[in-house]
Structure 1
Amino acid sequence: MTDARGLKGETIYVSTLPGVEPALEAEARERGLSFRRAEGGIECEGPPGLHQTANLHLRTASRVLLRLGTFMAPTADALVQGLQALPMADVWDGKVPLRLSVTLHRSVAPGPAVVLESASVAWDPCEVTVAGHLDEEGGGPELTLLVRGEGERWTVSVDTSGAPLYQRGYRQEVGRAPLRETLASGILRLAGYAGDVPLVDPMCGSGTFLVEGAWLSQRRPPGLLRTFAFQSFPSFDQAVWARRRAEAEGEALAEPRAPMRGYDLNAGALGTARRNARRAGVTLTLERHDLRTLKAPPDAPGLVVANPPYGKRVGEAEDLPDLYRALGATLNGAFREWRKALIVPEEPKLVATLGLKGARQLPVKNGGLRCLLVLAGPS
């Protein structure tokens, strides 16, 4: 596609975490992106630099892939030929290592995978071997091509993100149960949080919910503190990128529009949250407090968000019912006029222990664990 100036446009695929797809779609819609739903995310079309915009601004995105081409290849040799014919000049200069990852659509019979395991593609000065599956935790200094096969149809993309997008750059320390920044942002958005009312986390840990809430409230893009794979592309224009970053920073507010408060009984966790907030450039109110005696702050009702323990550590499981009962009592008592959003393990008995009447439950995953996002209004 070409834009109004005659410049060739882009098609990108933006992935997200399971259960967070509606939040990603809402973000794309707010930014005026033209998109369609795709498995595990969205596919967007737009002007040159669209991949930069997506990496910089989309809070719930896990990775941004730039489409390089689609072709038919019934054999491994045809696949090699198709890969060699790709327009690579804009994204690869032959100087950095090149990694190729191949996935087969689950509806495809496993037969072709046997053939592809031995296929290889040679681009001087390096050789690339067709691998089995993409490592979602991958990234690094090399250029990564991703090849997806559905029958004889192959779609090839280049990873423009590098390190996964949940790595914002501020969270250099984590608590006992770390929550990915992208999931925290997704939960806030699925809860309808827009940053204009107070946010409270009664079990704040390393402060991820609060920092993400503060950045959302400030309209601060999540990608300002990090670098991306596309910055090593031959076509990368540093001056254009600097202008794009400056425009994004210009849109951000100096302070959140509403207070962000976190509580935790663990003093060490609060110290971690303070240091993470300092690196993120945000101001949080953090206090040591037991959730059993916690009172709502003297603000207008807002959102209470929490990621309570799941009982995966030794000795925790037997304590969970009492903890969840206490959490529910605080939410239904001191915070009865507030909205609630909790990510909890997929265990009906524990959810029932919270006692949140009329709550909705949305399936999500946290670190590969099947969880529920429990959303409730005022009691």
Structure 2
Amino acid sequence: MSQKPTHQYFAPCPRGLEPALAEELSSLGAGGIKAVDGGVHFNGDWLMGAKANLWSRTASRVLWRVGDGQYRTDQDIYALARNTEWDWLFDVKRTIRVQMTANKKAPIQSVEFVTLRVKDAVCDRFRDTCGERPSVDRANPDVRIHGFLDGTRCTLYVDFSGEPLFKRGWRVATNEAPIRENLAAGILMLAGWTPEQTLLDPMCGSGTFLLEAAMMALNIAPGLKRSFGFEKLKTFHRIKWQALLDEARTAAQPPHPLAIYGSDKYGDALKAARANLEHAGLADCVQLKQVDLMEVSAPTETGVLVANPPYGVRLDELDKLAEMYPQIGAVLKKKFSGWRAYFFTADPALAKLIRLSASKRTVLFNGALECRLFEYKMVAGSNRKDSAQADQP
């Protein structure tokens, strides 16, 4: 029996941001919200899925659940995929890519083999219904099909997003290892930053925190300058989508100077940040300055400082960081009384060497890399620690 999809969605996100994403989706009007490790399940009509793509700042993708069933063998998975009405979802002329993942409980020997079985099932379905098979494009497909296997169930999804949602469409310049946009937005949310508060990134690199903050302050939908996977499906409602875009454009504030500041020691990094801000039309919203972190001063009496400091791999890098971290603590203590400071890092040494008492630690994942977001409330004379009392990660 064929399976015609209902509007059940799953939005994956960087691990640690599930509560922030659940709150976002709730504010957008999603129903059936259930946060799980790695993302959030929700439901709603077609427009809800489109709205989540347009407005979510923390989701990595929005996946539309199109098939679900129990399995014991790869033949069961093939049958599930064969009975899913792919021909109702998209035209045979669209190129496809299938990507399957499985958790440790899945009783399969090869994810690659199961991926091929699902691909064959999709193509066989089209051959049966229209006499043609869709072509596969691994690099830039029109339709991305995702599948997930646990110990007993296989769930199939069509990617409603296409390219990952952290690809906002504004980045034209980058540094060596930029933080992804949705993770940066989530960190700002976890920091409790709001546009009424001053924001400073003293190690701004290509400006990801600054751009995300400016778009949040101006209520600019993060997906306003890009296209999405759902636009290539037969279920695409062009008139409804255009109305949603018009509404988002009307809701956005015109660019104007904001209390958002960025600085960096290196001119090349500031050049990249400035290029990205200009490409996004936000150059007048953010104040940039080339200055070493140790020379930075607070631009206002209170505010939020957020930074993604470098972390080392080679011994010489580790030695430099071991010198830098205590200096960061000294600068915060001396110049940022009344501020909240947030450092996102994969380096466990920061917590020990900065010599300040973290008021909060949040575990986040940057891809597969486990990281920490440390919060420091800078109250004069109250949170300095000596090295013997150094914080534990």
Segments of 5+ residues of structure 2 without an aligned counterpart are: 380-393
Report the AA paired with residue 169 of structure 1.
Answer: G
Residue 26 of structure 2 aligns with which residue?
29
Aligned residues: 362
2:10 corresponds to which of 13, 20, 29: 13
State the distance in 2 between where 1:259 and 1:140 align. Answer: 39
Segments of 5+ residues of structure 1 without an aligned counterpart are: 1-7, 130-137
Residue 307 of structure 1 aligns with which residue?
308
1:172 is displaced (CA, Å) by: 1.7
1:293 corresponds to which of 289, 292, 295: 295
1:238 is displaced (CA, Å) by: 2.2
| CA spacing shift, 1:128–1:10, aligned 2, 3 Å | same
Q: Name whichever of 151-160 and 73-82 sits farther off.
A: 73-82
State the distance in 2 between where 1:195 and 1:143 align. Answer: 37
Superposition map of 1:1-379 within 5 A? 10-34=7-31, 35-111=33-109, 116=114, 119=117, 120-121=120-121, 122=124, 123-124=126-127, 125-126=132-133, 140-255=140-255, 258-282=258-282, 283-297=285-299, 299-312=300-313, 315-347=316-348, 349-379=349-379
1:295 is displaced (CA, Å) by: 1.1
Question: What is the identity percentage for the equivalent residue pairs of Structure 1 and Structure 2?
Answer: 32
1:194 is displaced (CA, Å) by: 2.1
State the distance in 2 between where 1:193 and 1:126 align. Answer: 50
SS at 2:86's partner residue?
A: coil
| CA spacing shift, 1:175–1:71, aligned 2, 3 Å | same
State the distance in 2 between where 1:234 and 1:31 align. Answer: 24
1:9 is displaced (CA, Å) by: 6.1
**1:199, 1:258 within 8 Å by CA — same for their partners in 2?**
no
**1:210, 1:260 within 8 Å by CA — same for their partners in 2?**
yes
SS at 2:154's partner residue?
A: strand
SS at 2:53's partner residue?
A: helix
State the distance in 1 between where 2:307 and 2:257 align. Answer: 21
1:94 is displaced (CA, Å) by: 0.8
Q: Name whichever of 220-229 and 22-31 sits farther off.
A: 22-31
Structure holding more helix per residue:
2
SS at 1:163's partner residue?
A: coil
| CA spacing shift, 1:177–1:146, aligned 2, 3 Å | closer
TM-score (norm 1): 0.88
Deviation string for 1:324-366 (max 9, x for gaps)?
122222222211211111112241x321222232431111222
Report the AA paired with residue 87 of structure 1.
Answer: E
Report the AA paired with residue 61 of structure 1.
Answer: A
1:186 is displaced (CA, Å) by: 0.9
Report the AA paired with residue 19 of structure 1.
Answer: G
1:161 is displaced (CA, Å) by: 0.9
1:180 is displaced (CA, Å) by: 0.6
**1:139, 1:164 within 8 Å by CA — same for their partners in 2?**
no
**1:195, 1:257 within 8 Å by CA — same for their partners in 2?**
no
1:300 is displaced (CA, Å) by: 4.5
State the distance in 2 between where 1:139 and 1:16 align. Answer: 22
Residue 4 of structure 1 aligns with which residue?
none
Deviation string for 1:68-94 (max 9, x for gaps)?
121233333332222122132453111
State the distance in 1 between where 2:261 and 2:88 align. Answer: 46
Deviation string for 1:224-269 (max 9, x for gaps)?
1111111111221222211101111212222468411001111111
State the distance in 1 between where 2:116 and 2:370 align. Answer: 35
State the distance in 2 between where 1:72 and 1:109 align. Answer: 12
1:313 is displaced (CA, Å) by: 6.0
| CA spacing shift, 1:198–1:114, aligned 2, 3 Å | closer
SS at 2:76's partner residue?
A: helix
SS at 1:49's partner residue?
A: helix
State the distance in 2 between where 1:227 and 1:322 align. Answer: 45
Report the AA paired with residue 284 of structure 1.
Answer: V
| CA spacing shift, 1:287–1:90, aligned 2, 3 Å | farther
| CA spacing shift, 1:188–1:266, aligned 2, 3 Å | same
1:209 is displaced (CA, Å) by: 0.4
| CA spacing shift, 1:290–1:144, aligned 2, 3 Å | same
**2:14, 2:367 within 8 Å by CA — same for their partners in 1?**
no
TM-score (norm 2): 0.85
1:26 is displaced (CA, Å) by: 2.3
SS at 1:23's partner residue?
A: helix
Deviation string for 1:254-307 (max 9, x for gaps)?
24684110011111111111110111121210011111121111x351110001
**2:100, 2:115 within 8 Å by CA — same for their partners in 1?**
no
**2:162, 2:228 within 8 Å by CA — same for their partners in 1?**
yes
State the distance in 2 between where 1:175 and 1:208 align. Answer: 10
